[in-house]
Structure 1
Amino acid sequence: MTLALLTDPAAEPVTLAEARAHLRLDGTEENPLVEALIAAARAALEAETRRAFVTQSWRLTLDDWPAEPVRLPLAPVAAVTAVKVASLSGAMLPIDPAFYETDLAGEPPRLAAKRGQAWPMPATRLAGIAVDFTAGYGAAADVPPPLKQALLFLVAHWFENREPTGSGNELPRTITALVAPYKRVRL
């Protein structure tokens, strides 16, 4: 199973102006650093929570169909935009959406062939199935406030601590508390 980003979010969940106000910055010389920290903090918190914050497109690639419904590794999912299977020629052939059903509101979001249907087998052993989907809360304004606050706190933490602190893979406790209700548990 491979997950690949197809389309980046159109905007970050917090603006440069919001981050500058949070950091209480007057000058603009730190703007490139703050912008980089915003993008890095978003990516880190998305990975921590297994959620996409602002709308973005992804592709899940599988070798074979699982016995159970396909679990999409990110949430929230707005739509499954394409399901394709490799043909003998190597071309990825789309599967008619009437053939499958989705549970996008579930945790995790899932995709399954409808009752009485069987998924077509890919002609290749590796990466013969592609599921394209759109994930995210929507626009930056739709991201839940605790996630935005966690992002601002992480930007501030990294801005003040420009060298690694602790073990390097632990988030500060305040940030952990803010993202805890949004963290997707792996089963």
Structure 2
Amino acid sequence: MDFRRTSTALTREQKLAVVSVADVKAQERITNSYEDALIGQYIEAAYDYLAGPDGWLGRCCLLEETFEAYIPNPGGGFELPIRPVVDLSSITGFEVSDGAGGYDPVSAALYAKSVNEGFGYILHSGQSSWPISIGVDPRRYKVTFKAGFGAADDVPSPIKLGIIMLASHFYQNREATFSDNRITAVSRQIEFGLRNLCGRYRISRDHS
């Protein structure tokens, strides 16, 4: 399934609303402001490491963003590629190609929207067949939806703490940790910390 983000890319300021520079400074017991800009960069890097289509959490958005997903044939139904989809209102459109570069709404009688444990679905109603057009078009059907926990206050606290932990790690270890003779201890601490804090929100593409 092909998909793309259609909302404006998140800014650093939006990401810092989830975890602030002050949060990381409190974690590291930093009392000066000399490196605030650098800490902001570390927070953004930690956010990007966990979230988004390629993030460690597995196609999970933290702040709400809008996407379009494309599929050649819905079959009996399909799952939306980004999560969490909060409720049915987050799935805002389902359309079929008009063959001339545009899209027309699919009849509401042909499908149902569903949300289960943060995953969004388009399901065939079984009333009649999907609209058919000639030729192979990998973008014949388009669904528009929103994914993300919502605003900054809606992001789960374990994920926020995971961002703080990662940003603190970046602050403390400004070179690659494998050049340090403590590599095993450092890497395993970070790995176990992330898994303990954020692992419950991490889901692979096969839902494992």
2:63 aligns with: 54
**What residue ranges of structure 1 are gaps of 5+ in the alignment?**
none
Once residues 138 and 28 of structure 1 are traced to their aligned partners in structure 2, the CA distance between those partners, rounded to angstroms, is 30
Q: Tell me if 1:6 matches 2:6.
A: yes
Matched, 1:32 2:43: no
Amino acid at match of 1:69: G
- Quote how far apart the aligned CAs of 1:39 are: 2.2
Amino acid at match of 1:4: R
Match of 1:130 in 2: 142
How far does the alpha carbon of each residue in 1:114-167 deviate from its partner, in whole angstroms, 9 at most, with x for none? 221333246662323222111111111111111111111011112222233359
Moved over 6 A (4+): none
Q: Residues of 2 paired with 1:120 and 1:144: CA distance?
A: 40
User: Which deviates more from structure 2 when the two are superposed, residues 133-142 or residues 36-45?
Assistant: 36-45
Identity %: 24
Task: Provide the aligned C-alpha RMSD in A.
Answer: 2.7
What does residue 20 of structure 1 align with?
A: 25
Give the match for residue 156 of structure 2: 144
8 Å contact kept, 1:85–1:121 = no
Q: Which has more radius of gyration?
A: 2
Residues paired across the two proteins, number: 185
Q: Secondary structure at the match of 2:196?
A: helix
**For 1:5 and 1:138, how far apart are their aligned partners in 2?**
16
Q: 1:27 to 1:71 in 2, by over 3 A?
A: same
- Corresponding residue for 1:70? 78
Could you say if the C-alpha distance between residues 67 and 35 of structure 1 is closer, same or farther in structure 2, counting changes exceeding 3 Å? same
Equivalents in 1 of 2:107, 2:29: separation in Å?
Answer: 53
The one-letter amino acid of 2:92's match is: T
- Return the alpha-carbon distance in structure 2 between the equivalents of residues 121 and 76 of structure 1: 31
> What letter matches 1:87 in structure 2?
D
Q: Which amino acid aligns with 2:93?
A: A
TM-score, length-scaled by structure 2: 0.75
Closer, same or farther: CA 111–148 of 1 in aligned 2, 3 Å: same
Greater percentage in helix = 2
1:119 to 130, 144, 161: 130
Q: Does 1:181 align with 2:193?
A: no
The 1:122–1:147 alpha-carbon spacing in structure 2 relative to 1, beyond 3 Å, is farther
Between 53-62 and 151-160, the greater mean CA deviation after superposition: 53-62
Given that 2:69 and 2:142 are in contact with CA atoms closer than 8 Å, whether structure 1 keeps it comes out as yes
Structure 2, unpaired ranges of 5+: none
Within-5 A mapping of 1:154-169: 154-166=166-178
Does structure 2 retain, via aligned residues, the 8 Å contact 1:85–1:122?
no
Kindly indicate whether the alpha-carbon contact (under 8 Å) linking 2:85 and 2:147 is maintained by their aligned counterparts in 1: yes
